[in-house]
Amino acid sequence: MKLVSAACLALFLAAVLSASPLSITISDPGGYGGTMPGNAASNGDVIGLLKYFDVDAIRFTTIEAMKVEAVIRMNYNNGDATLSPFSIGGGFPTLRPGDLLFEVDGIYTYGVPLSRHDMLTAGALYHVTNAQPFTKDAKTVLNYGSSSSTNFNPNVPVWINAYNAVEAGANLSFIPVQVGATSAVDITVSFVPDLQFLAYLERGVGVHFASATCANDYIDGRLQYMVPEPVPLVLTGFGLLSIGVFGQRLRRRS
């Protein structure tokens, strides 16, 4: 009976640990430039403004039924520590970060804004339905009359289309933090996903992020993960553990 109890306890612990954080990293294949303010010697694959919005990687640090957390590292405005209003202004155009986009079956269906735009809340998960196009490209967002430029990628998706965008997961946290005295910034986004998003994750979703609305650097990758169901597993493990303990007590009484 002790073996049964031990097995039940092991199952219980395994269920709890199955909900532990993990780390899945999607790196920019074009490389990441230098991160010291004022140093424009190395700038990865960024076009246009040096040291501005050079994306490094997206690290999914937690994927659970109640929480998805991603940390995006990129350069920001030569090490501007204020991060407010989280944009590069002072002239036309005003550049802001792109949205974290998720592609399902070839269509960008979900998105997480990294700045407030079109009445959307930064850090929340949105599901875009019944809208064409599903995203806005750099040319549309910046309202550029020309489709060709050496300073931006006009046809790259940068924002979700707010038309028919429904909130699919509340914003748990949205924290941009400058990394030391460098121009690197870690943007932590944490949200509650809906059940449909979790189902898509098990099939695999595409991940896309344009570091700025000019898409002067962007990253693409794929995220596939079977989200554990901690509550049913924990309850099952706890139930079996209780049965084992109860049976052991009956045996002692007899």
Map tokens 């850090």 to a residue: 123
C-alpha of 101 from chain center: 8
Q: What pLDDT band is residue 178 in, cutting at 50, 70 and 90?
A: confident
The distance of Cα 19 from the centroid of its chain, to the nearest Å, equals 18
Helix 230-253 vs helix 2-17: crossing angle, to nearest 10: 160
**Amino acid 234: pLDDT:** 45
Alpha-carbon gap, residue 22 to 66, rounded angstroms: 14
pLDDT at res. 143: 82
Mean of all residue pLDDT scores within the chain: 76
The H or E element spanning position 232 is helix 230-253
Write down the pLDDT at residue 96: 82
Q: Dump pLDDT digits (tens) for 186-243.
A: 889 999 999 999 999 999 999 999 988 888 899 999 998 888 765 444 444 445 445 5
- Would you give the DSSP letter of residue 245? H
This prediction's pTM: 0.78
Q: Starting from the edge strand earliest in sequence, which strands make up the sheet with 24-27, in order?
A: 24-27, 55-63, 68-75, 184-191, 171-178
CA distance 150 to 139: 13
Chain CA centroid to CA 15, Å? 25
Task: Look at residue 13 and tell me whether its pLDDT is greater than 50.
Answer: no
How far is residue 101's CA from residue 114's CA, in Å, rounded to a whole number?
Answer: 10
Q: With beta carbons less than 8 A apart as the criterion, state whether 183 and 36 touch.
A: yes
DSSP annotation string for 165-221: EEEEE-EEEEEEEE-TTSSEEEEEEEEPPPHHHHHHHHH-EEEEEESSTT-SSEEEE
